[in-house]
Structure 1
Amino acid sequence: MTFEPNELTPHRSARHFYGADLRRLRMLAGISLATLAGEVPCSKSQLARIETAEAIPFTGLSEEFDRVFKTDGHFARLFGLVSHEIHPEQYRRHMEIEARAVIIREYAGLLVPGLLQTREYAYALFRATAPKASEEDILQKVDARLTRQALLRGENPPDHSVILDEAVLRRPVGGPAVMRAQLAALIERSNSPTSVVQVLPFSHGEHGLLGGTLRLLTLKDGETFAYEESIDSGTLMEDRERVDERMRAYDLLRSHALSPVESAAFIRSVMEALPA
């Protein structure tokens, strides 16, 4: 029986065109996926997913394709088109994976993670990032965020571990009253049998995730995805090598964080120091 590759549909989107063109040039060059995987920093399985538009090339990979196929920036330019359409789709897929995850690990360098935000804290954030948005739009976003939190309160909630940089606790989002309630909610969450909240104090200094946000989502079958997010975009990582790299960074950070008991006491001290 001959192998029939998945049918490609390059007209559907820039991502599909990218994948179809990658397969076209690879086959013209007579290069197998395994051979290509030996030439670029990407696994054979992930390359297959990129060709069928099931996965998105990570930053820097397009330049590697251009080097291998001598395409003078062709893939780098295509990635520019892909990047304009990937963020909403990546976020949607990220949310789908979150809903199925049995283990969620997070590092937050700037803000309280969405799954742990109070209504008032979330409102202050959305209002600050979209000052011209209508009140209705802001409230819809807040409601959507709070709806996500239901997965932590279900019958079989995922194990949820969070490392909070001290900066997260020191930034009084929404003012002292809102922040005090948010810190109290973190302490309450730390008492849940399925949640672990740890604080990374300023005294630790620099580290590999400084200033960023990282989520590690593990499914029932053991597959783990990594998601990094900035103020206006996010990157979902599925490639084993890149996910393993983020997992090592997270584990190293956790080893330097305060214990859960010490963290709860630390959060309480910050809360009590807020002005009335």
Structure 2
Amino acid sequence: MAGKNLDPSSSPRALLGAELRVARERAGFSQAELGEPLFVSGSFIGQLEAGTRRMHIEFARQIDDILGTDGFFSRNCGAAAKSKYPDHFAAAAEAEALAKAIREYAPQLIPGLLQTEAYAREVFRAYQPTATEETIDELVTNRLARAALLSDPTTPLFWCVLDEAVLRRAGENTAILAEALRHIASLVRSRRIIVQVLPFSAGFHAGLDGALKLMSFDDAPPLAYVDGIGMGQLFDDPATVARHTLTYDLLTASALSPRKSLALVESVAEDYEHDQHA
């Protein structure tokens, strides 16, 4: 292993995780035993091996020392850490690509996986009003690339709760939001995603603290991601994930049924289309 480097063009995080599993088993360590001197859980080591967690350089150096891998992980964790997403979201975006199920609560904006090009452009321009067109183009391209996850007809399962505010937040060009809502309705009607709308009439609810994303995997523990303005945090602690899962369950219980939600999404889209024509 000492003389080999990973190819950064071919899912470096997944490759690094696979190499970690091989090296750990060759050295005779369980995941928990390797995690102990690193002061992390065995499940965290499992997430590194599954590629759902990023290996930071300080872990890489210690792993090289413990497993006797002659600097392999120190050399290659840089390639695995490279991301086209902001630092606070990179780990969540890369875990999202490996998830078998994604459940998301969106309080203000259409989730990135469901955004159209025009809608994403409006969002990024609002975030960065002084950015160049080249910067905005790159951000939009990366966001649309994430949405390719939904091109598979079966995986991942995507279940989203949209606050009604998401449906009502239109800019000067209401056609942009109308198109975005029609896109969501199309995905629902093709049975690719599940969408529920949390109406204003629900009043106070469990998700008032902000956006939430839950991800589950075939070969790694589940994760929860919460974010705010320019910040986000990924959780793997079972108790924390369970608490956020309860929050999501309460939101689905307060939301409209999928059938009524689809009707509302299409009705609001039609209203915005009429406004544009007028």
Normalised by the size of structure 2, how large is the TM-score?
A: 0.67
Match for residue 19 of structure 1? none
Distance 1:236 1:253 in 2: 20
- Give the match's secondary structure for 1:100: coil
Distance 1:105 1:254 in 2: 10
- How far is the alpha carbon of 1:55 from its aligned partner? 9.2
- Give the match's secondary structure for 2:97: helix
Gaps of 5+ in 1: 1-42, 57-86
User: For the structure 1 residues 244 and 184, does the alpha-carbon distance in structure 2 shift closer, same or farther, using more than 3 Å as the test?
Assistant: same
Distance 2:124 2:171 in 1: 11
Distance 1:223 1:243 in 2: 10
Distance 2:187 2:206 in 1: 26
Q: 2:184 aligns with which of 173, 178, 186?
A: 186
Query: Would you say the 8 A contact 1:109–1:167 is kept in 2?
Result: yes
Structure 1 residues 213-264: Cα deviation after superposition (integer angstroms, max 9, x where no partner): 1000111136210011113111111111111000001001101111111001
Query: Letter of the aligned partner of 2:41 in structure 1?
Result: S
Query: Letter of the aligned partner of 2:269 in structure 1?
Result: M
Match for residue 103 of structure 2? 105
Distance 1:160 1:265 in 2: 19
Match for residue 114 of structure 1? 112
Match for residue 164 of structure 2? 166
Q: Which aligned segments of 4 or more residues in structure 1 are displaced greater than 6 angstroms? A: 46-49, 53-56
Normalised by the size of structure 1, how large is the TM-score?
A: 0.67
RMSD, aligned α-carbons: 2.7
Q: 1:245 aligns with which of 243, 246, 252?
A: 243
Count of aligned positions? 203
Distance 1:187 1:195 in 2: 9
Query: Would you say the 8 A contact 1:109–1:211 is kept in 2?
Result: no
Equivalent residues in 2 for 1:75-90, closer than 5 Å: 88-90=86-88
Percent identical? 40
Gaps of 5+ in 2: 1-38, 46-52, 57-84
- How far is the alpha carbon of 1:186 from its aligned partner? 1.2
- Give the match's secondary structure for 2:41: helix
Query: Letter of the aligned partner of 1:228 in structure 2?
Result: V
Match for residue 6 of structure 2? none
User: For the structure 1 residues 149 and 165, does the alpha-carbon distance in structure 2 shift closer, same or farther, using more than 3 Å as the test?
Assistant: same
Equivalent residues in 2 for 1:10-25, closer than 5 Å: none
Query: Letter of the aligned partner of 1:261 in structure 2?
Result: R
Query: Letter of the aligned partner of 2:214 in structure 1?
Result: L
Match for residue 93 of structure 2? 95
